[in-house]
Structure 1
Amino acid sequence: MSDDFKVTDPRTLRAYAHPLRVRLIGLLRSDGPMTATRAAAELDDNVPNCSFHLRQLAKYGFAERVPGADGRERPWRATAHTTSWDDDTDDPAMRAATDQLNSVLLGIFTQRAQDYLASRADEPAEWRAAAGFGDLLIHVTPDELRELDEQIQELAARFHHRATDPAARPAGSRPIQIIQMAIPRGPVPR
């Protein structure tokens, strides 16, 4: 599996911009290779639907088949640990595709936050205190915002190896998704 699948084609980006496809790739990345049957059970969907979308992901290079435990099993895996794309293009087709994907991601992230809130009361106090929501209002230039993003990525990078190496995970750790949005407010300054 490669580190990153960089998407530069709007058609490929639009193919990825489907809520189930994004969730399938996330599941393959977090839980390793699996069959469409297992993916359907994990995502509370049906097998034919997951199978179709896994084939579409493979068609565009996001997923691939791997050998199964027996001759009947047909598992899939993600081809890369991450997917990236540029949001700074002047190409209208690429801008439309990135907007479509970003909208899908926002919907998924919002649903995950709502799911957490629905079960938050069942969380131990230490996890309720550590997790949560917040925002900051800062005034920065585009270069400073890129620098801030790089620093956030560097801070999180010290934990990345745990995603692929279960032995590196300390007792009591669990997967945490840090959702980052940097959204300009107000009009563009003159």
Structure 2
Amino acid sequence: MTDDPPSEPVADPASGAVRLTSPMLKAMAHPMRRRLLELMHEDVPRRATDLAELVGAPANSVSFHLRQLARAGLIVEAPEHARDRRDRVWVAAGSGFTVRPPEGPVSADDELVLRSFMDQEALDLHDLVDRITAWAAAWGSGRAESTRAAIHTGLVELTEEDVRWLSGELEQLMDRAIDRSRTPTDQPKRLWRMVSLVADDSLPSPPQHDPGGAP
């Protein structure tokens, strides 16, 4: 059995970020694939064994999920980094991934796929916030001895141009942090999750689902 030909990723010529399509969003529905994709960069080759060690999963399972990500066009093979023909090495398909406004009307199915993906992203973010606040309480009471997170919040008046500038600055800061993480050091390293969030304070809450409606 051969793999289906992968989808061709479409990268923004200015930023290099890949615009997420419905097949990509469907592929990212699995939590392991989202986790793996977080660890992928366009200039850092990864093997299934490397990623398996990072996520604590069997290498054959990681290989399967990598093939699904490749089929959707989220990652691509990097044969120039392979040791031989059997050695499969992967990199991210672009410098990042983004959801941009469509150029025309989208189908109801495509909108449902996007909504499902964003709902899962929200659940992941809620879980992260719950873990951070639990640690913060232990830190504030003296029960936690090491730094495990940092929270910075603020409310500022900005124009849309200001927000675009701020978003770009945060993206560059994350890129510099990734570069710094590649510097060899004798100090122990752990995986740290980075999230930047800039939002209009007047964003309305989403409509509540009717518990009596269809599932």
TM-score (norm 2): 0.62
Tell me if structure 2 keeps the 8 A contact 1:19–1:105.
no
**Residues 133 and 4 of structure 1: is their aligned pair in 2 closer, same or farther, counting only changes over 3 Å?**
same
| Aligned twin of 2:196 | 179
The equivalent residue for 1:110 is: 126
Report the CA distance between 1:63 and its aligned residue.
0.8
Are the aligned partners of 1:18 and 1:101 in contact in 2 as well (CA < 8 Å)?
no
Q: Which blocks of at least 5 consecutive residues in structure 1 are unaligned?
A: none
User: Are the equivalent residues in 1 in contact too, given 2:42–2:91 (CA < 8 A)?
Assistant: no
Q: How does 1:137-148 map to 2 (within 5 A)?
A: 146-147=160-161
* Equivalent residue, structure 1, for 2:19: 6
SS of the counterpart of 1:64? strand
Gaps of at least 5 residues in structure 2 are 1-10, 137-143, 208-215
The Cα offsets for residues 62-106 of structure 1, whole Å up to 9 and x where unpaired, read as 112223453254221111121112367752222212112212222
AA partner of residue 23 (structure 2): R
Match 1:94 to one of 103, 110, 117: 110
Identity of aligned residues (%): 22
Using CA pairs under 8 Å that are at least 6 residues apart, name the structure with larger relative contact order, 1 or 2: 1
Structural RMSD (CA): 3.9
Match of 1:154 in 2: 168
Amino acid at match of 1:185: P
Give secondary structure in 2 for the equivalent of 1:70: coil
**Where does 1:25-174 land on structure 2 (aligned, <5 Å)?**
25-29=37-41, 32-67=44-79, 68=81, 70-71=83-84, 73-86=87-100, 91=106, 92-116=108-132, 121-124=144-147, 131-132=150-151, 134=153, 136=155, 146-147=160-161, 149-162=163-176, 165-166=179-180
- 1:185 is paired with a residue of what secondary structure? coil
Q: Cα deviation per residue 1:114-138 (whole Å; 9 max; x = unaligned)?
A: 45556663434xx86xx216465x8
- Which has the higher Rg, Structure 1 or Structure 2? 2
Distance across 2 between alignment mates of 1:11 and 1:30: 20
1:34·1:76 contact (CA, 8 Å) conserved in 2? Answer: yes
Q: Structure 2: which amino acid aligns with 1:79? A: A
